[in-house]
Structure 1
Amino acid sequence: MDLPTPLLIFYVRNDALGDGLLRIPALRAARTAFPQSRIVYGSMRKSSLTGVLRRHAAPLVDDFRTVVPLPAILAEFKRHGRPMTVVDFRTGVPGLMLTKLRLAARGVRYEPNFAGHLLSSHWGARWTLRPEHNAWRYHRLVERLAGRHLPFDHRLEVSQAARILAGQLRGADQRPLILLGGNSRGSNKIMSDAQVAAIAGNLIEAGYQVLYLVTPGDGPTPQSLAARESRLATIGPALGLGVEEFADLLLALGEMAAAYVGMEGGLGHLFATVMTPTVIINHGANIERWRPLSNSVEVVTAPKRGRSAFISDTPVEAILEATHRLLATRRRDHPEPPSL
């Protein structure tokens, strides 16, 4: 009689766009290390991996169970003699310790996202500190489970259809492209109309094609920006694309862009998957944990207003200084080859 397929469960609280993107390298590593396992991805709330990132996550996961408690997932996939492993990306030591005890009693192997690896160190294994960056923390849990080093790959593939559409939107304009983004569902992460218009005007005068990305949430609209800076082009819901198609278009534009300038959040992480040079305006996030993985990143820190920092308070001069510094550094370190 054939033995049941081993079960590997990843469990999270929820995945905003940035969360989902930073977990993809760990899922790729798991598919590489455990090709015979059935991989289940569960969450307490919604996940971008079943929405905007579905095309990229689907080859890595056999079953998604969003808005489902972990015990319900274990019960659903339980089979006599089946080895079961849970990799828990949630945080909070008391809750993880309680889950560890409960799963140990059921014979389930457990790899939790503890603040330090000491509590989850295995007998005979060398103790190591947990990495600072969230993407590497998730990936390290899979490496600990596999007992060996594994490839780390955060990149996303861009569809040819998206590249064609991006080229059509750019048209015959040969100026270097810069992308701007400032919409958000968090009030302290929104860029103001005045900020975007001033940044765009400066960059257009400097010889760049500038495109503002209208994404879900509050913030600048095409109408409000056109009233301030008529030379600034925008793309967004008016294109009539679905969420997955729009994300693919953003990736294609990111491939072409000299830089992306915008608030800390999902867009910065999305463009990091195609290695777009990035200027991030940080509203107070731990940048060691949430830094985009594109290697070429400038961080501008928003000033505090009381206990909170608001991106809309960030001086335009500081954002432009970082942007021009990033662009100059790119030209120095990666000069364009001479034309034939």
Structure 2
Amino acid sequence: MPDPLHVPASILVYVGLDAVGDGLIKLPFVRALRSAFPKARITWVAGKGHTVFADTLGPLVRGLLDEVIDEADIGSHPMELLSRPLSGRSFDLIIDTQRRGLTTLILRRIRHRRFISATAGYLFSDIRPRERTRPASMIGQLMQLAEAAAGCPVEANFPLPRDPAIEAEAERLLPAGPRYVGLAPGAGGRWKCWPLERYIALAAGLRDAVPVFLLGPAEAEDWAATIRAALPHALLPLQQASQLTPMLTIALGRRLAAAVTNDSGTGHMLGAADIPLVSLFGPTPANKFAPLTRRAAILRAQDFGGEAMEAIPREAVEKALSQLLL
């Protein structure tokens, strides 16, 4: 538990910017902060660009963040060292999530009681983590900052908000009763995708479970007809949804017994659903981009003698999935 003498009432978290992928990766950090400091007022500041927590992913952080300051224009100009950013506001705790020295020095100009930053090996930080080795993953680095703030290990277990209308839509698309297994064959680039025919073969081999393919609009255009022809009993709920949102994908994820995914935004949405997850990696490093979830199996092409996603054998994915379904 955090030291009761130093529990902050107000926290500022500084980021440069957040694209959708960044925001999804950072969700466990936001959840861990709120879990560690349930009564604090948490302000999220995007100093050098736009944060999707101000719009696209805003519904996912409702109740976790109290304030989002978008495109604040803080942390880039040396002349800021002569002023007090944020109009002289003060915070009990500032968490600097970036590592550029000038930006860190500018942030220290904001009035605060304690300051945490990994810049220059925590040289400018009032608090340092017990383990100073830099984690490979972005989320690992952020969780290290959260643990330094709390003074103890933290968990990303604060529940995400649920919209009753979206939960009802998820129930309509995946009604209670069957056991569902999710399959997310898409990614930001096809070179990150395990072959679609292997996803189809994996789905065809499922026993006592209904395959659920989660396809984005572009993937559906290319793949939906192929999947429906090969697997008439498979469900494609996002293609039946009234509106596509990350919250709906997460709500659908909660209705799955487990899922298989590439390195993708959908993978991080399913990680946010806290379900057992098989994550497949090839050209991108798993130790940097793997979703954070309670039960996971990470399969890398390199473990099977290759670099491309095709190196991952179907049998290995089947085995990992069956173990998670036990």
- The two structures have a TM-score, normalised by structure 1, of 0.73
Partners of 2:86 and 2:110 within 8 A in 1: no
Partners of 2:18 and 2:46 within 8 A in 1: no
Q: Could you report, residue by residue, the CA deviation over 1:81-100 in whole angstroms, capped at 9, with x for unpaired residues? A: 74586422235xxxx22323
One-letter amino acid of the structure 1 residue matched with residue 255 of structure 2: M
1:8 aligns with 2:12: yes
- The two structures have a TM-score, normalised by structure 2, of 0.75
Q: Distance in 2 between matches of 1:81 and 1:176?
A: 51
Q: Pick from 308, 311, 316: which aligns with 1:310?
A: 308
Where does residue 207 of structure 1 map in the other structure?
208
Q: Pick from 106, 111, 120: which aligns with 2:116?
A: 111
Residue pairs, 1:168-207, within 5 angstroms: 168-171=172-175, 174-203=177-206, 206-207=207-208
Structure 2: runs of 5+ lacking an equivalent: 1-8
Where does residue 87 of structure 1 map in the other structure?
95
Where does residue 252 of structure 1 map in the other structure?
251
Instruction: Identify the range of structure 1 (222-231 vs 258-267) with the bigger mean alpha-carbon deviation.
Output: 222-231
Q: Distance in 1 between matches of 2:234 and 2:162?
A: 25
1:66 Cα offset (Å): 3.6
SS in 1 for 2:212: strand
Q: Distance in 2 between matches of 1:320 and 1:254?
A: 19
Identical positions, percent: 19
Where does residue 317 of structure 2 map in the other structure?
319
Instruction: Identify the range of structure 1 (249-258 vs 105-114) with the bigger mean alpha-carbon deviation.
Output: 105-114
Q: Distance in 1 between matches of 2:167 and 2:108?
A: 49
* Cα 1:114/1:215, change in 2 over 3 Å: farther
Instruction: Identify the range of structure 1 (267-276 vs 81-90) with the bigger mean alpha-carbon deviation.
Output: 81-90
* Cα 1:115/1:315, change in 2 over 3 Å: farther
Instruction: Identify the range of structure 1 (233-242 vs 206-215) with the bigger mean alpha-carbon deviation.
Output: 233-242
* Cα 1:275/1:217, change in 2 over 3 Å: same
Where does residue 25 of structure 1 map in the other structure?
31
Root mean square deviation, CA, Å: 3.8
Q: Distance in 2 between matches of 1:163 and 1:83?
A: 36
Instruction: Identify the range of structure 1 (222-231 vs 163-172) with the bigger mean alpha-carbon deviation.
Output: 163-172
Where does residue 267 of structure 1 map in the other structure?
266
1:46 Cα offset (Å): 4.0
Residue pairs, 1:66-105, within 5 angstroms: 66-71=70-75, 78-80=86-88, 82=90, 86-91=94-99, 96-104=100-108
Q: Distance in 2 between matches of 1:199 and 1:283?
A: 18
SS in 1 for 2:62: helix
Partners of 1:193 and 1:224 within 8 A in 2: no
Partners of 2:11 and 2:95 within 8 A in 1: no
Structure 1: runs of 5+ lacking an equivalent: 332-340
Q: Could you report, residue by residue, the CA deviation over 1:70-116 in whole angstroms, capped at 9, with x for unpaired residues? A: 2489879633574586422235xxxx223234445677775324484
Partners of 1:182 and 1:189 within 8 A in 2: no
* Cα 1:49/1:166, change in 2 over 3 Å: same
* Cα 1:161/1:183, change in 2 over 3 Å: same
Where does residue 338 of structure 1 map in the other structure?
none
Residue pairs, 1:14-53, within 5 angstroms: 14-15=18-19, 16=21, 17-28=23-34, 32=38, 34-35=40-41, 39-42=43-46, 44-53=48-57
Where does residue 297 of structure 1 map in the other structure?
296
One-letter amino acid of the structure 2 residue matched with residue 186 of structure 1: G
Q: Distance in 2 between matches of 1:249 and 1:325?
A: 27
